[in-house]
Structure 1
Amino acid sequence: MSRTWHLGFGLVLTALAGYVDALGFIRLGGLYTSFMSGNTTQFAVAIGHDTPLLAILPALLIFAFFLGSLCGGGLSSLTPARWSTPVLLGFETVLVSGAYLTAVEDPSPGHASLLLALAMGAQNAALAHVQGFRAGTTFVTGALFSTGQKLASALAGRGPRFGWVGDGLVWLSLLCGSLLGAVAYGRLALYALAIPAGIAGCLTLVATVMTVLKSAPDSASAS
């Protein structure tokens, strides 16, 4: 896959992260499935207020995200570089689909949210090998800060005029995904999870096809 395709995939994945985060926030009453800074704060507040029972779910979400990152990093290390993105996206598809099926069978908020946190942790590894790439991750605070910094440089005439656009698009992708997630949950409830599962599956299929097509000429030239 070319860098352009990786960038496009990353923006879609960032929107997907915003989508599932909005669902998680609504369903869990203020906790997140991808924004671990927020969960860490919630965990600390629960411990500080001496309400350890309220700290259990944010702690489990943090651990699930960490475990997903560990699994994603492991898969990325063990997989040939050209197949890394399809494999990781396939892994994410399985987890998000599992979250959807779990939510439909068991409407309690805990189990499906842990699978989503696991998927979001793994998602960060999907495009980690693209140097300097910020999209496709589940956090955009850095992208928002970078947008402001690059815009300031552009206005001062010390940087590229449109160098801030890429980071701005990352933040906008998360915003749009979160908005769509909130609207979808309001209309479809837990069935809204079918949408990110389908998107992840489509991305996996496209990435697989593109990798196969790129591998074919390489194999032909080698022979």
Structure 2
Amino acid sequence: MTRPWQLGFGLILTALAGYVDALGFIRLGGLYTSFMSGNTTQFAVALGHDQLHHALLPGLLILCFILGCVCGAAFSALTPARWSTPVVLGFETAVIAAAFEAAVAAPDSGLASLMLALAMGAQNAVLSHVQGFRAGTTFVTGALFSFGQKLALALARRGARSAWVGDGVVWLALLVGSFAGTVAYGRLALYALAIPAGIAGILALVATVLTARRASGTTPA
């Protein structure tokens, strides 16, 4: 894919991560399906208080996220480079769709949340750096730091005037996605999971078409 397409995909995926994380946060009472720093803190606090039953769920979420990272990286490594994005997105779509089915069939089992953590871990392998800033990942702390750093350089006239815009847009994408997820859950409950499954599927389909056209030589690299 060309960089404009990568940028668009990255921002949509960042918003998707915010959407899924908002659903997880509301449903799990303060835990996350993509933000593992928060889960790690809660896991450590539960262990420190000798509350092993409270440490179990954040620990499982972290484990599933790591497993998703491993799966995403493995697909990327074992797939021809040009096809890695469609393949990883296809895997993510399948897992989110399975999470939706699990949520509807057994809403109190917690299985759907673990599957979402798996999908979010895999998503980080879809794209890395796009035009100098991170997009498509499930965390934006680094983007916020980069935003502040580039803004300071711009104000000091030691860097490009608009270099900070990209990182700000990445953060905004996560914010918008989280807001949308909160509103969707309030209106649709667990059926709100159908939306990220559909979006991931559309992205996988578009990525497949773009890659096929590029392979046939009809689209520039």
8 Å CA contact 1:28–1:109 kept in 2: the answer is no
2:90 aligned partner, one-letter code: G
Task: Give the whole-Å Cα distance in 1 for the aligned partners of 2:68 and 2:129.
Answer: 17
Q: How does 1:162-177 map to 2 (within 5 A)?
A: 162-177=162-177
Corresponding residue number in structure 2 for 1:127: 127
Matched, 1:114 2:110: no
Corresponding residue number in structure 2 for 1:73: 73
Q: Could you tell me the percent identity over the aligned residues?
A: 73
Normalised by the length of structure 2, the TM-score is 0.96
8 Å CA contact 1:68–1:120 kept in 2: the answer is yes
8 Å CA contact 1:127–1:133 kept in 2: the answer is no
Corresponding residue number in structure 2 for 1:105: 105
What is the SS of the residue equivalent to 2:110? helix
Structure 1 pair 129–211 and aligned structure 2 pair: CA distance change class (3 A): farther
Task: Give the whole-Å Cα distance in 2 for the aligned partners of 1:130 and 1:207.
Answer: 16
* Between 172-181 and 126-135, the greater mean CA deviation after superposition: 126-135
Corresponding residue number in structure 2 for 1:192: 192
8 Å CA contact 2:15–2:176 kept in 1: the answer is yes
What is the SS of the residue equivalent to 1:11? helix
What is the SS of the residue equivalent to 1:43? helix
Normalised by the length of structure 1, the TM-score is 0.95
What is the SS of the residue equivalent to 1:161? coil
Corresponding residue number in structure 2 for 1:221: none
Q: What are the Cα deviations for residues 179-205 of structure 1, in whole angstroms up to 9, with x where unaligned?
A: 000000000000000000000000001
Aligned-pair distance for 1:50? 1.1
Task: Give the whole-Å Cα distance in 2 for the aligned partners of 1:122 and 1:133.
Answer: 19
What is the SS of the residue equivalent to 1:88? helix
Q: Aligned pair count? A: 218
RMSD across aligned positions (CA): 1.2
What is the SS of the residue equivalent to 2:90? helix
Structure 1 pair 109–170 and aligned structure 2 pair: CA distance change class (3 A): farther
Q: What are the Cα deviations for residues 129-183 of structure 1, in whole angstroms up to 9, with x where unaligned?
A: 7685511000100100110110111111111110000000110000000000000
Unaligned runs of 5+ in 1: 219-223
